[in-house]
Structure 1
Amino acid sequence: MIDRWQLWVVIAGLGLGSYAMRFVFMGLVGRRPLPEWALRHLRYTAVSIFPALVAPLVVWPEATGGTLDAPRGLAALAALAAGILTRNVFASMGAGALVLFAMLYWF
């Protein structure tokens, strides 16, 4: 177990780091326009977060003890295919959920 003072040092350090990162964008940049290259890269931030959150749940699911199984793999492929074909996040999530539940029922 971590000591109480070490825990508070870590919490304070994380809080200061979070504040510093936000201050750079809100305090220093403020109302100044960002360069075109920065805006172009920032457009992909939201697109990269969703796969980064979902990929560990597909590859190392807690429900199976950390081993890849067929229902989750097929659901991920269905969600990927629906996302590519429809370009719609909700259709992709719906297709993945339907395939996951169908495959869990089937297997």
Structure 2
Amino acid sequence: MQISDATIWVIILVLGAGTYLIRWSFLGALGDRQMPGWFMRMLRYTPVAVLPALVAPLVVWPAATGGAPDPARMAAAAVTVAMGVLTRNVTLAILAGGVTLAGLLYML
């Protein structure tokens, strides 16, 4: 099935306008207003909810192994979580996980 160039450009423009309007609804329409306390408390948990949802499939079903679980990636994820919980330092947790992953991929 062939799609014309005009159709592709219309789709790109509509999606761009939709993305702009979604962002404007928060920044433009509500940007100068004080948000309720309950909303700000819930908003703090957004990164904590989104980041694991983005990372978990890459750890459990990595594309590098064809979707098969990899012990090196699982161990690196466990070290990262453990270091983050113990030290409460994001940089140290990421560094420890990266070193663990590199070391285990080199050894295995």
Pair in the same fold by TM > 0.5 = yes
The aligned counterpart of 2:44 is 43
The aligned counterpart of 1:26 is 27
Whole-angstrom distance in 2 between the partners of 1:96 and 1:2: 44
Whole-angstrom distance in 1 between the partners of 2:101 and 2:11: 39
Deviation of 1:18 (Å) = 0.9
Q: What TM-score comes out, normalization by structure 1 length?
A: 0.87
The aligned counterpart of 2:90 is 89
Gaps of 5+ in 1: none
1:16-72 superposed Cα distances (whole Å, 9 cap, x missing partner): 111111111122113110011111111122223322332221112121111111000
Is the aligned partner of 1:15 residue 2:16? yes
Whole-angstrom distance in 2 between the partners of 1:58 and 1:5: 39
Whole-angstrom distance in 2 between the partners of 1:75 and 1:35: 39
Residues 9 and 79 of structure 1, relative CA distance in 2, 3 Å threshold: same
Q: CA RMSD in A?
A: 1.6
Percent identity between the aligned chains? 49
Gaps of 5+ in 2: none
Deviation of 1:104 (Å) = 1.0
SS at match of 1:32: coil
SS at match of 2:67: coil
Whole-angstrom distance in 1 between the partners of 2:50 and 2:88: 16
Residues 69 and 2 of structure 1, relative CA distance in 2, 3 Å threshold: farther
